[in-house]
Structures are given as C-alpha cells and as structure tokens.
Structure 1
C-alpha cells in the first residue's frame, strides 16, 4: 500500500533542516528540541481519574514514574509502560497523552517509567531499570490503586524493546508474573539490511541512519548488540513467555524485525496477535501531534487484546 494521505502531509511538513538523530547529532540538543515541540503543541491533558508523580528505587538511583488511574472504580490491573526514543530520547511527558489514553481505553492503572537514557547510561541500564520498575509495581500494586494479578508490560519502539526484554528477564530471573506484553513497533534486532530497512531508509520519519546512531549511543561495546537483552530476536529460547500483541507499521524500518519476533514467539508456542497498520509510519502510535484515527484504532486493539487474555477488571 501507499502512504496514508494524512501521514504523507505530516511528513512533508517536517523541516528538513530540523535536528534529527543521525551521525554527529547531539543527544542533549535533540532532547531539548523534543521538549520544546511538546510545549509548543500545548495539548490539553486527556481526563483520567488521577495522576501521581513519584519515584521508585532503582539499581542506579531513584527512577521517576507517573501513575495514571482510571475514572471508574477499581482496583484495576496494572500496565507498566516504557516510552520510545531509541533509548536516548523521551521522558514521562512525551508519552503523557499515550498513557492517559491507554489508562481509560484499557481500564488499567498505567505506570509510566522514566528509565535511564543513553549515552549517559549505557546498556543494560535501561533494561535494569525496566525490570526494577515492574517488580516494584507488582509489590506496590494495591498502594497504586491497582492489583498485581493481570500485570502487563507495554512500550513503543525502544520501549517495546524494554517490554520484550523485561518479559524475558522475569521468566528467567524469578518473576513477577506478567500476564501479557504489548509491543508497539518494537526494536528486536540490529540487522539494518532487512527489506523494511532498505525500503524505508529515509523519508518515513525514522531513518536507517538514525537507528544506527541510536544503537551506537546505547551500547558500551559493539558486541553487546548480540546480547538477548539488547536484541531479543536473537534469544535462543522464547518458550514460556506471556501472550503478546505486536503492532507494526507498514512503512517503518523496524517492521520486519517486529513481525519476525512475533513469528518466533508463535513458533515457540506463545499466543501472539500480530497487527500491521497499513499506510502508517514509525511513531504513529505515540505521536500526540499527529492524532491519526489509526492511533485510536491501535489503542482499541490493545484494549481488546488485554480483554481477550482474560486479565481485565472483572
């Protein structure tokens, strides 16, 4: 399929001179640009039952989190969410709109995690923080207004990678139990020569050069890219993992690795639902500025998947 006409317009409106991930980019400057863009957008916050900013203890110090509670009476199951941004960009504010929407559409207490970023904190810092956050949320579910039964992990892009890796680590490192994983155009490998990378090398929001730069920022050593906690597609054994929903975008360099990971899960006997969004590009799920109708379809898809796993509020 061709690009969705609205997406085509949005991509054409991007200033080609604007700072972007790639060779020579400054992570600090890119973060500042994103914060300013979000400030300029000035979106009114979507209503939820309550929002609380707090911290939890992590392996490298306190980890900021933001907790969203639905308007309806609970307790509700937990959804721990990890933002995207190539492990380099993003924070609680960049996914505030996403988490508010998921809180109400899915009827879950959403815990958004501000994990440590690269290049200041190299692999495996982000995944260590993600694991710590899930374990803390499971223990403190009642205090958060939720319940640990039915806990799910979710994330987009690099956050999808962290959700994937957290599911692997809790399987191998003693819990807690995760009932479901929601992986939105996840990073699962570091193969930059897949057909989707070659077809969508430039001009589709996320670029091949940008992803190579993100990996360079994230890793302390090139050989770390082969570690299953960095490239979960290279995990030898995927059995025993929780049911997964994998969402991909047709015109996304990461499309093939996300869909291959879904195939690998299915081959390992894990219940999987794979949904490709035709005409979409990387970022359609989490980009509040675009507010595409497919974004809401994706949120409803997440809610339906969580209902189908039998883990939504009775």
Structure 2
C-alpha cells in the first residue's frame, strides 16, 4: 500500500535535515535527541526513577525504571520488561525512548527497566550485548527492589535494541538464566547488511532509515566485520540453533530495509519450535513506535505490543504467522 499519509507528512517535514551518515557521530546524536520535541506528550505512569548498577566491566550502568499505576497502595509486584533502545548501536538514549517506555509501562501494566548500554564507536561490539546481559541478570536478581516479579520477565527492544534483545535471549539460553517469558523484537536488526535482504534494495532510500545509514551504523559498531559480522551475538539470525528460546513478538514495517530480515528471523524461530507472533505494519517505516499518539497506525501497533506483553506475562503468548495490519 502507499506510505501512510501521516508518515509521509513526517518524512516531508524532515527533508531539510542532513543524512545521518553524512554527520559526525556527535552531530548525529544531537539531531536524534532534538527530534523528541516533536513526539506526543508523555503518557502518565506512577513513578520514574534513575538507578545505577554495576556494569560488566565494573563501570556503572544506568537504568531508568518506570512503574505503572496500580489500583491501590502496595500494588504489585508487577511483571517486568527489560528494554533496550535503538538506534544502530550508535545513537539515541534513555531520553529518546522515554515515550516508548512510558507507553509500554502504562499499556501492559508492567515495570519497565530501560538500559543505558554503552554505545559505539566509543565502545564497539561486544560491549552493548555484554551490558544488556548484565542488566537483565541484575534486574532479575533485584526484581523485588523494582517492585517486580522475578518469575515474569520479558526482554525487548526496537531496531538495534531488538537485536540486543534477541542476542540476550540466545545468551541467557546458552550461558544460564534468568528464566524469560518472552522476547519483544520491534523491527529488529538480525543480520549483517551485505548482501542484504530484498527489502534493503526496495527501501534503500526515501523512507527515513536507508541502506547507507545501516552501513554507517555497522561500520561504527563492528571493529572487524570480516570476523564479527557472522557472529550470532552480532547477527542472531546466524545462530546455529534457535530452539528453546522464549516466545517472541516480531514486528516489521513495510517501508523498512530491515523488514525482510525481521520476518526471516520470525520464521526461523517458528521452524525451531518457538511460539511467534509476527506483524508487518503496512504503510509504515522504520521507527514508527516513536510516533505513538501522532500516527494512528503507530498507536495501534503500540496497543498490539502492550497486548502481547499482557498475554505473555499471563502465560498465554499469542501465536500467528506474518499478518499485515
């Protein structure tokens, strides 16, 4: 279908901005931080607090913890979502994804712990997946401090954060605990950009994220692509086995270079016996969850993600083949 008119208006409004891959990292980060001013007003939650935990190499690691409204004092423990933000392992922050975390917290009725993992190129692979695994384990061990239930944990993220969630699920399976109820992968990065899936060519330019930007991201993230690009902790679709992983929600966007690799990962999970729900959002482009409250179909997608979380926390993870919405 054509690009959603509300998305097209946003694309048109941003035509004057420089291409991400043309900028130094610091300027690209500033540009992405500045656009949060255009997002919808933040959703109300009961409490937001900052925490500092030990990182995997001894350096402190920041969390932002969101607690939902409850029907009464002392409500809880709530289920827990450990969330990893995109974008490209290089950009974005707890602040750029504050709205997404608030929407998931309120919509799913869960505590959300958003992880401020180390970014490339200052900290290249595998720094980010090391941080995400450490944060997941800390949150599970300290769930009571967060007002959360250690028996009801899901990990999730968008874009590069979806990659980090998928990789964390693999590592938890292979390296021991904690138990996870699910993995929420929102338009995830699952593979190296070359040769790339067909959607890399179809959506190479004109829809926000493009092929050149993905190459720029990967170039900053990996120090040695010849050795690391096929590593399953960088490209989880290359894992030898996807069996015995937690149930997954995988969402993709029609006008996204990452569309096909996300759907291929969902299918590979399904073939490995994992419960999978996969939705392709027609007319939308990469990053659409950020426009919840301003783009109608993005708001619907957020409702779907929150509903999937509620069902998964209740032990009823939905399952469907790729459906188009």
TM score, norm. by length of structure 1: 0.94
1:64 and 1:136 mapped to 2: Cα distance?
Answer: 12
2:9 and 2:263 mapped to 1: Cα distance?
Answer: 27
Equivalent in the alignment of 1:248: 252
Equivalent in the alignment of 2:54: 57
Give the deviation of 1:9 after TM superposition.
1.5
Structure 1 residue 261 and structure 2 residue 265: aligned? yes
1:236 and 1:271 mapped to 2: Cα distance?
Answer: 18
Contact 2:79–2:148 (8 Å) recurs in 1:
yes
Contact 2:39–2:294 (8 Å) recurs in 1:
no
Contact 2:250–2:278 (8 Å) recurs in 1:
yes
Equivalent in the alignment of 1:10: 10
CA displacement, residues 53-83 of structure 1 (integer Å, 9 cap, x when unaligned): 1111112311111000011122111000110
CA displacement, residues 193-246 of structure 1 (integer Å, 9 cap, x when unaligned): 321110110000101000011000000101211100000011110000000000
Contact 2:181–2:313 (8 Å) recurs in 1:
no
Equivalent in the alignment of 1:168: 170
TM score, norm. by length of structure 2: 0.91
Contact 1:306–1:312 (8 Å) recurs in 2:
no
Equivalent in the alignment of 2:155: 153
Stretches of 4+ moved more than 6 A in 1? none
Equivalent in the alignment of 2:79: 77
**Structure 1 gap ranges (5+):** none
**Structure 2 gap ranges (5+):** 317-325
1:36 and 1:299 mapped to 2: Cα distance?
Answer: 22
Could you say what secondary structure the match of 1:99 adopts? helix
Query: Which range moved further: 191-200 or 220-229?
Result: 191-200
1:230 and 1:191 mapped to 2: Cα distance?
Answer: 12
Equivalent in the alignment of 2:312: 309
For residues 190-269 of structure 1, the aligned pairs below 5 Å read 190-192=192-194, 193-222=196-225, 223-269=227-273
CA displacement, residues 141-161 of structure 1 (integer Å, 9 cap, x when unaligned): 111011111200010000000
Q: 288, 294, 300: which one pairs with 1:291?
A: 294
Contact 2:77–2:149 (8 Å) recurs in 1:
yes
Equivalent in the alignment of 1:34: 32
Equivalent in the alignment of 2:64: 66
Query: Which range moved further: 167-176 or 28-37?
Result: 28-37
- Paired positions, count: 309
